[in-house]
Amino acid sequence: MKNKNKVEDHITWKIKSGSCSFWWDDWLGIGALANYTTNISSLNNANIAHFLVNGEWNERKLRQQVPPLLIPQILNINFQYQQGEKNTVVWKPNDSGIFSCASSLENLQK
């Protein structure tokens, strides 16, 4: 857990079942959504499925809880909701387009 914040910068989530954290996992590709608002407690563990109805975004609920600037990005995200299927972690490449678990781990240990 001590390296969690460093590692989180290098991964994003590909939504399938909606079980990853809506506020704390980087599923939109811009970092944790909690970083864009002051209204979210670290105890808020709502998952993405909490904001879906029949596999579609519940726009009313989004507009009630999410900062207005993020709404269009969320509504435009392309995902295939499949209840029960696992979400996927996707490693982001570095600026040169290369990614490596070994080099990432070496950087974390410094």
Q: Are 17 and 81 a contacting pair, CB within 8 Å?
A: yes
Split into its structural domains, the chain has a count of 1
Is the four-CA dihedral 33, 38, 39, 44 of positive or negative sign? positive
28: in domain: yes
- Residue stretches of the chain with pLDDT short of 70: 1-14, 16-17, 80-94, 97-110
Whether 10 maps to a domain, the answer reads yes
Confidence at residue 70, expressed as pLDDT on a 0 to 100 scale: 94
Note the pLDDT of residue 62. Answer: 94
The answer to the question of residue 19 being in a domain is yes
Does residue 83 form part of some domain? yes
Whether 31 is in a domain gets the answer yes
Query: Would you say residue 109 lies in a domain?
Result: no
Per-residue confidence (pLDDT) for residue 98, from 0 to 100:
63
Q: What is the pLDDT of residue 75?
A: 92
| Neighbour count for residue 22 (Cβ, 10 Å) | 25
Domain presence at residue 110: no
Is 70 among the domain residues? yes
